[in-house]
Amino acid sequence: MNLRRAVIEDTQVLADFNINMAYQTERIKLIPEVTRAGVETVIKNPQMEFYLVAEDQGEIAASLMVTTEWSDWRNGLLWWKQSVYVRPQNRRRGLYRQLYQQVKSLAESETNVCGFRLYVEQGNSAAQATYRSLGMVETAYKLYQELKPDIRYCNT
């Protein structure tokens, strides 16, 4: 398995992964053009965020995105793992575990990174069990949001 940062040529595959993940986990139909542009923005701004991909025989089999959040409490960056996706035929092969270990290793090598977090659907017990098995702990926080009314990212 080859782990690497995503490059611009990976944009469509990663956009497709995001579209598949959103539908499989939340039954949300993302707008392909918006999703592709969002992935491209990530790849073009590696100082803010980045994708890691796992390649199997030259094909991207899994990916995740890391975004940053400044913690004034810790005087450091928290990395958020998002957009986790493993192709169905590649699941249960330890690909997420490898990506997780890579993020952990990268975070340890960066002196201004104080840890990492992720959010997960409340009903996704399989993913939650995986995260616990890797040493992550559930926080006491709930996630709230308010999106601008004119933001269109999915077809309802």
Q: What is the pTM (predicted TM-score) of this model?
A: 0.88
Q: Is the pLDDT of residue 156 over 80?
A: no
DSSP reduced 3-state for 149: coil
What percent of the chain has a predicted confidence (pLDDT) above 70? 99
CA distances from 145 to 64, 88, 101, 148 (A): 22, 30, 29, 10
Q: Is the pLDDT of residue 151 over 80?
A: no
Q: How far apart are CA 2 and CA 6, in angstroms?
A: 12
Q: What is the 3-state secondary structure (H, E, C) of 65-107?
A: EEEEEEECCCCEEEEEEEEEEECHHHCCCCHHHHHHHHHHHHH
pLDDT tens profile 105-133: 999 999 999 999 998 888 889 889 999 99
**What's the mean pLDDT in 41-45?**
95
**Domain count along the chain:** 1
CATH code for position 115:
3.40.630.30
Domain that holds residue 48: 2-155
Task: Look over the chain and give the mean of its residue pLDDT values, rounded to a whole number.
Answer: 93
